[in-house]
Structure formats: C-alpha cells, structure tokens
Amino acid sequence: MNGQEALEIFKRTGALLDGHFVLASGRHSSQYMNKDAAYSFPDQISLLCWGIALAFVDRQIDVVAGPEKGGIILSQWVAHHLIESAGQKMRAVYAEKDGDGFVFRRGYDKLVAGKRVLLVEDVITTGGSIKKVIQAVRTLNGNPIGLGALCNRGGVDAEALGIHDFHALANPTFLTWGADDCPLCKQDVPVNTEVGKGREFLARQGR
C-alpha cells in the first residue's frame, strides 16, 4: 500500500479534515487526522493494518504492541494479518498510561519480556507517546524491532524515535504552528472543539 492509497482511505472514512485544530502536542494546524473516524470502519482499518503487516512480514515478530486506545485496535489487526500472511504465532497487547509514561499490565508484561516486539501507532506528530511505549518494552528487556504507523504527519524519522525500522503508510506534510505564532488564530478562524485539543485550549484562554 502506498501513501496515496492510505490517504484515500483516510478521506473516505472522514478521517482527514481541514480547519483550525489544536493537536495533542499543543501545536496548531490547518489539517487534522481524526483517526477515530477511521476506526469506525473495520474493513478500512483492516486494509490499513494489512499495509503495515506487509512491511514487517519477514521480521519474526513475537508480539505486536501499541498504546491505548487506538493501539489496541491496530495491534489486533496487524497481528491478525501477520498470522495469516506469515503463518507466525504471535500475540497482540497494549500499553496503558501510567503518569507521564506507559506500562504493560494485565499480564502483558510477561508476554513482552524478552520478546521481539513490533510497535504500532496511529498518528505520529512528535513521537512522544510511542517513544514512551518503546521505553516500556525495553524496561522489560523486550526487543522493539520496528514501528508501523498509519500516518507520520510530523516528519519524524526512526533515529528520533530511537528505533531502527520505522514504516508509516502515509507521510503528509501538515503545517503546524505554536499557539503564539498561529496564523489561523490571528485571522480569528474558529478552533474546532469536536476533535483534537481545541476545547481544552479555549478553556485555558478563558473562552
């Protein structure tokens, strides 16, 4: 699956939006990847995860892991396609937020410990969250052999993530700005409060 095919799926599912958005990183953008919209289309998410699985089909993976909540869905579908394509036996798990980091609970720590782990993530802007999941894997002496993502909108590379193999289905160029430099704010373009962190941003502004 190439980047254009992935973007077409995002458009079909209403995941790729235009407007004025506040991202999880706090930066503002005129475009937003609302992955939650795509998650409501199991057949389309299956196609996207098949694209990720193909990039790692020869890597002898033991476990597919992602951060809650979207990573739960992705880990299941990617593992499913890897099992079907490569005939490998593997497990699918997820990491939960714990303060400023992530941990594996529910017995998943035992499944990750000492294993070859493929990380999955939906949208990467700065890579901050997935780096914490990668660290959680390493804390358990797991081997994070790669990362597959639906969308890399921040231009993040493998080196920045501290991992050797990083494959994103789509790598669109989304312009972002700090809140003080946002041209959309200066033009009084309304902030979208339905997706992203717009509601929280406006609350901090007393609006």
pLDDT tens for each residue of 55-82: 999 999 999 999 998 899 999 999 999 9
**Burial zone of 40 (CB within 10 Å; 0-12 exposed, 13-18 middle, 19+ buried):** exposed
Residues in the chain: 207
pLDDT in tens, 105-116: 999 999 999 999
CB proximity list for 206: less than 8 A, separation 6 or greater: none
The pLDDT of residue 126 is 85
At 10, the pLDDT band (50, 70, 90 cuts) reads very high
Q: Indicate whether 207 pLDDT > 80.
A: no
Q: Phi and psi of 18, rounded to 5°?
A: -115, 145
pLDDT at position 88: 78
Q: In this model, does residue 86 exceed pLDDT 80?
A: no
Longest dimension (CA), the chain: 55
CB-CB contact of 57 with 82 (8 Å): yes
Quick check: helix, strand or coil at residue 67?
A: strand
What average pLDDT does the chain have? Answer: 93
Give pTM, 2 decimals: 0.86
Percent of the chain predicted with pLDDT > 70: 100
Q: Where are the domains of the chain?
A: 3-204
Q: What class does CATH assign to 3-204?
A: alpha beta
* pLDDT tens-digit readout, 102-158: 999 999 999 999 999 999 999 898 899 999 999 999 999 999 999 999 999 888 999
Q: Calculate the CA 35 to chain-centre distance.
A: 9
> Which tokens go with 203?
């609350």
With CA atoms as reference, report the closest residue to 6 among 29, 36, 35, 31.
35
- Give the 3-state secondary structure percentages of the chain, helix then strand then coil, rounded to 5: 40, 25, 35
